[in-house]
């Protein structure tokens, strides 16, 4: 392996050994606290434009399979680990992590003190960075010149080019809901994770996935029973067409949003979003459902948040993050449209929040009846 570096925009430098694809990658340096599920992290479209650090110390020991991916290919810019496992041992594995990243053109860096890096990002904040085998001074210049995540609409890099039907459920991992007359849900793809689509199918839905630029009129022409707004990358305030689409759909069909979809709903209702210092990313984020008083351990991946003070008298806050009291869910008082900031499909992660898909289909059933 060749020596390589990660250099942050503030000049902080970390050395390590290059793996995966050769070259230089530029993106926002972030960290995720998930102890498992590195393949789901790699393929989560919400990581588009980011250099992702795994806080778990050893990564790669279960290899890569074709079942756990959350998209057809990874969208992140680079992958940082403390120790790259030289041994791949899992009955489903078909290739090594190193081989997978080489094939997909993703730069990797191992041997990094990820604990130190994580503490630095936590203290200073997420920031642009560059990783590669170039001279550290050159990498620093690249990081300083890179545009920040604020202001970037990245949905065009991860959305589907054309509408398609999704029919696959979770299979052996979940008990599907029997529904003689499936509810038709249109899922707007801002960077959707595939397990979200599986969860909708498990709830007895016929799912049509449409591009992020699909208008409200085009969605309504498909005659859906409900509309789902997916997760996705970048600054929600920059996804102006998506905000307009959500605004035009409110009150016309039941709506459920996750992550970026949640932020777009807040913006469509006249609210505001802001950037968190280092975001919430991992499988162990505590959230309280204010309706049931139940605490859930959730999967999250976001760097922006809805400002609840900007939505007074329009929405009720349904969920709160227990670490920092930030908004994790809203419900529109007038139409009942609702959304959450976290990932109830839990890929990877705990399944505490799967009930939200049933809450969505129950709303569809009430409207249909």
Active site residues: 259, 343, 345
Residues comprising the chain, all counted: 369
Quote the CA–CA distance of 163 and 352 in Å, as a whole number: 31
Q: What is the separation, in whole angstroms, between the first and last Cα of the chain?
A: 63
Per-residue b/e over 227-266, b at no fewer than 16 CB within 10 Å?
bbbbbbbbbbbebeebbebbeebbeebbbbbbbbbbbbbb
Quote the CA–CA distance of 323 and 286 in Å, as a whole number: 7
Quote the CA–CA distance of 154 and 366 in Å, as a whole number: 35
Q: Which residues contact 113 (CB under 8 A, 6 or more apart)?
A: 14, 82
Q: How far is CA 125 from CA 12, 35, 110, 137, 279, in A?
A: 12, 22, 22, 21, 9
Quote the CA–CA distance of 262 and 59 in Å, as a whole number: 31
Quote the CA–CA distance of 284 and 297 in Å, as a whole number: 6
Quote the CA–CA distance of 100 and 108 in Å, as a whole number: 11
Quote the CA–CA distance of 279 and 244 in Å, as a whole number: 25
């Amino acid at each position: 392996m060749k020596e390589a570096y990660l250099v942050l925009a503030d000049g902080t430098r970390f050395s390590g050994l290059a793996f995966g694809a050769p070259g230089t990658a530029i993106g926002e340096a972030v960290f995720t606290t998930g102890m498992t599920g590195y393949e789901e992290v790699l393929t989560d479209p919400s990581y588009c434009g980011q250099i992702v650090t795994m806080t778990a110390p050893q990564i790669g020991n279960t290899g890569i399979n074709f079942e756990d991916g959350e998209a057809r290919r990874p969208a992140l810019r680079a992958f940082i680990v403390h120790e790259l496992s030289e041994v791949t041992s899992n009955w489903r594995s078909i290739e090594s992590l190193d081989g997978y990243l080489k094939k997909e053109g993703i730069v990797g860096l191992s041997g990094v003190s990820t604990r130190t890096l994580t503490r630095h990002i936590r203290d200073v904040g997420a920031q642009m960075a560059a990783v590669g085998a170039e001279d550290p001074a050159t990498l620093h210049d690249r990081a300083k010149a890179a545009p920040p995540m604020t202001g970037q609409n990245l949905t065009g890099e991860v959305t589907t080019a054309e509408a398609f039907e999704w029919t696959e459920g979770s299979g052996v991992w979940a008990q599907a809901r029997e529904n003689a007359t499936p509810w038709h849900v249109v899922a707007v793809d801002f960077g959707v994770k595939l397990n979200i689509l599986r969860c909708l199918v498990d709830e007895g839905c016929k799912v049509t996935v449409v591009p992020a630029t699909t208008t409200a009129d085009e969605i309504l022409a498909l005659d859906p029973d409900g509309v789902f707004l997916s997760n996705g990358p970048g600054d929600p305030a920059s996804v102006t067409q998506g905000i307009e689409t959500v605004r035009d759909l409110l009150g016309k069909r039941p709506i459920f949003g996750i992550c970026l979809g949640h932020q777009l709903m807040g913006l469509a209702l006249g609210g505001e979003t802001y950037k968190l210092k280092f975001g919430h990313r991992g499988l162990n984020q505590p959230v309280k459902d204010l309706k049931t008083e139940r605490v859930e351990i959730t999967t999250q991946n976001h760097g922006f948040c809805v400002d609840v003070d900007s939505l007074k008298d329009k929405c009720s806050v349904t969920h709160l993050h227990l670490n920092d009291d930030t908004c994790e869910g809203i419900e529109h008082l007038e139409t009942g449209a609702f959304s959450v900031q976290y990932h109830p499909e839990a890929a990877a992660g705990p399944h505490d929040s799967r009930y939200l898909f049933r809450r969505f289909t129950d709303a569809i059933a009430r409207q249909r009846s």
